[in-house]
Amino acid sequence: MSYSIIGFGAVGQALARAFARKNIDVTVASRRPPEMLMQQAQAIGPTVVPRTLQDAIASDTIFLAVPFWEHREVAKQITAWHGKTIIDETWLAKADDGSVLEVQLQFARGVPARGKVEAKLHSASKPDFYRIYKFEQVADVARSTATVIDRVSKFSIKATGPRFAPLFNGSEQLISITSVPSYSRSIYVPVM
Ligand SMILES: NC(=O)c1ccc[n+]([C@@H]2O[C@H](COP(=O)([O-])OP(=O)(O)OC[C@H]3O[C@@H](n4cnc5c(N)ncnc54)[C@H](OP(=O)(O)O)[C@@H]3O)[C@@H](O)[C@H]2O)c1
């Protein structure tokens, strides 16, 4: 298993230190040439090796530590998905009346983005009462018409029966497919 960190700022270097502490080889890269990252990499440890962005993208596992708006630029560098991990999923939902919804999806795994959201929701009927929701997820956009990402090799939706058939009558357009391999949610309530 080979690892790389793309982005070698505050977060990238903190991640590289974690690899160095465990003595694990890791490639680091940014838009700057490897020579320009060498001094900082050597200061962290000998297992941290600067390489080009193309070399970093060839790793089995890639950690993204670039500004969020740069994710798209990094994704554009990956033109060939051959040899990447392919996810194949089939979902089947059956209603009591025999209606069936079947979704088949196959895509090459990309670079997932980690996101955290914290929200405090107040009750409409009792405004003093609130709950705190904390969500943390990892999301992999496999297809997006807006950002021209498409790693989907197979996709179909089959809807039959009175419950599901009206939902998918062929007039809809698919604009995005996002895989969420990891999701956690904690809910807190105040002690009143
Ligand atoms: N710092 C924190 O405490 C913190 C905490 C939580 C989350 N985050 C998030 O973590 C991410 C990184 O934050 P950071 O503080 O480490 O940022 P940073 O110090 O500004 O570093 C960003 C790194 O990304 C590289 N980079 C930018 N665009 C790139 C591209 N298209 N391709 C390859 N490399 C690119 C930059 O190097 P070049 O200019 O050489 O390309 C730089 O090494 C951000 O999304 C930030 O919101 C940061």
Judge residue 19's burial from the number of C-beta atoms within 10 Å of its C-beta, 0-12 exposed, 13-18 middle, 19 or more buried. buried
pLDDT score for 83: 65
What average pLDDT values come out for the chain (192 residues) when binned by 10 residues?
A: 92 94 96 96 97 90 83 75 72 92 90 90 93 94 88 91 89 91 93 78
- Which of the listed residues 15, 17, 27, 30 should we mutate to test ligand 1's pocket, taking the one with most ligand atoms within 8 A of CB? 30
Instruction: Please list every protein residue whose CB sits less than 6 Å from any atom of ligand 1.
Output: 6-12, 30-32, 53, 65-68, 70, 73-74
pLDDT score for 146: 87
Last residue of a domain, one of 30, 53, 79: 79
Q: Are residues 113 and 188 in the same domain?
A: yes
Question: Left if phi > 0, otherwise alpha if psi is -120 to 50, otherwise beta: which for 142?
Answer: alpha
pLDDT score for 82: 63
pLDDT score for 42: 97
Domain hosting residue 55, numbered range? 1-79
Last residue of a domain, one of 31, 55, 79: 79
CB within 8 Å of 20: residues ≥ 6 apart: 26, 44, 45, 47, 48
Q: Are residues 118 and 191 in the same domain?
A: yes
Q: Are residues 119 and 177 in the same domain?
A: yes
Last residue of a domain, one of 79, 110, 143: 79
pLDDT score for 80: 65
SS3 content of the chain, % helix, strand, coil (to 5): 25, 45, 35
Distance CA 135, CA 120 (A): 12
Q: Are residues 93 and 187 in the same domain?
A: yes
pLDDT score for 61: 82
Q: Are residues 91 and 162 in the same domain?
A: yes
